[in-house]
């Protein structure tokens, strides 16, 4: 994901950038309001982490202007103050969530994850992903191909969901491991290949055109041609 951090405390900005980069996000940092607003208005960010008190233009104003310009990036507001009024004004300016300083990095990461996940669900509209004649229903947790219901385990479903969110894109084994087996430290090294094999058996076996393709030496992709 592409993340913008607008934070004038340079040490904190650097730390956030490092932590989020380790999570494989692509991160830009601005340390004052005007630059932050300009970057945010480029509309190239999935998430904007916005400090409330900033030189030149504060976080509330940046957030308001983003929403006026119909920028849909998710906004997580950071603040040193945590009164109810502050929280309310942050949210009414169009922020999606609010985190009071000082916070633990683990809490920030959990919020970021939750916000991005929520956004993924919302942008899905009807909650159905489709590649060719394969559909995945996020709400019913159902997978069908040519109208036939396909039974998947939870891991197979998560793997397929990830592939279907990036149709036609080659995903490396390490990207897949990171996304699907994130916190599962027992994941064995060839776990991706094993699950791809299971999944292929279920979604492609018996159908004329395979959707799940191996890109030799790189990884896998799902596409409908
Ligand atoms: Ca500040």
Annotation: CATH topology of 2-122: Rossmann fold (3.40.50)
- How many whole angstroms from 44 Cα to the centroid of ligand 1? 23
- How many whole angstroms from 2 Cα to the centroid of ligand 1? 22
Q: Tell me the pLDDT tens digit for each residue of 78-106.
A: 987 666 677 677 777 889 988 988 899 99
Q: Which residue has the higher pLDDT, 180 or 76?
A: 76
- How many whole angstroms from 51 Cα to the centroid of ligand 1? 6
The phi, psi pair for 26, rounded to 5°, reads -100, 120
How far is the CA of 135 from the CAs of 108, 129, 152, 164, 217, in angstroms? 33, 6, 13, 9, 28
- How many whole angstroms from 188 Cα to the centroid of ligand 1? 43
- How many whole angstroms from 78 Cα to the centroid of ligand 1? 8
52: pLDDT strictly greater than 60: yes
Quote helix, strand, coil % in the chain, to nearest 5.
40, 20, 35
Mean pLDDT of the chain, nearest integer: 89
pTM of the model: 0.57
- DSSP strand pairing (47-51 vs 74-79): parallel
- How many whole angstroms from 31 Cα to the centroid of ligand 1? 9
Q: What is the mean pLDDT of residues 179-208?
A: 84
Measure the CA–CA gap between 211 and 223, rounded to whole angstroms. Answer: 5
The CATH class of the 128-222 domain is mainly alpha
Cβ atoms 163, 192 nearer than 8 A? no
- How many whole angstroms from 35 Cα to the centroid of ligand 1? 14
Q: Pick left, alpha or beta for residue 212 (phi over 0 → left; psi -120 to 50 → alpha; otherwise beta).
A: beta
185: pLDDT strictly greater than 60: no
Cα-based angle 67, 69, 75 (whole degrees, multiple of 5)? 35
For the chain, what are the domain ranges?
2-122, 128-222
- How many whole angstroms from 83 Cα to the centroid of ligand 1? 16
- How many whole angstroms from 43 Cα to the centroid of ligand 1? 23
Residues 23-45 as b/e (b if ≥16 CB within 10 A, e otherwise) read: eebebbbbbebebbbebbeeeeb
Residue 5 parent element (H or E):
strand 2-6
Q: What is the mean pLDDT of residues 10-29?
A: 94
Most confident by average pLDDT, 33-37, 110-114, 175-179: 33-37
pLDDT at 187: 60
Is the peptide bond between 165 and the residue preceding it cis, with omega within 30 degrees of 0? no
pLDDT at 11: 96
């Amino acid at each position: 994901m592409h993340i913008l951090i607008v934070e004038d405390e340079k040490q904190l900005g650097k730390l956030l950038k490092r932590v989020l980069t380790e999570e494989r996000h692509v991160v830009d940092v601005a340390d004052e309001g005007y630059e932050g607003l300009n970057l945010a208005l480029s509309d190239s960010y999935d998430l904007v982490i916005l400090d409330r008190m900033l030189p030149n233009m504060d976080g509330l104003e940046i957030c308001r202007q983003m929403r006026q310009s119909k920028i849909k990036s998710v906004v997580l507001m950071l603040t040193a103050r945590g009164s109810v009024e502050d929280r309310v004004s942050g949210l009414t300016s169009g922020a999606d969530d609010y985190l009071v300083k000082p916070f633990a990095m683990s809490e920030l990461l959990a919020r970021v994850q939750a916000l991005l996940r929520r956004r993924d669900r919302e942008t899905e509209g009807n909650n159905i992903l489709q590649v060719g004649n394969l559909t995945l229903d996020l709400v019913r947790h159902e997978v069908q191909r040519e109208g036939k219901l396909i039974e998947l385990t939870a891991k197979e479903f998560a793997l397929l969901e990830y592939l279907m969110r990036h149709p036609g894109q080659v995903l490396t084994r390490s990207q897949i491991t990171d996304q699907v087996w994130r916190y599962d430290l027992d994941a064995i090294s060839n776990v991706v290949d094993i699950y791809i094999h299971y999944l292929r058996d279920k979604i492609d076996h018996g159908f004329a055109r395979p959707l799940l393709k191996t890109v030799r030496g790189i990884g896998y992709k799902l596409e409908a041609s």
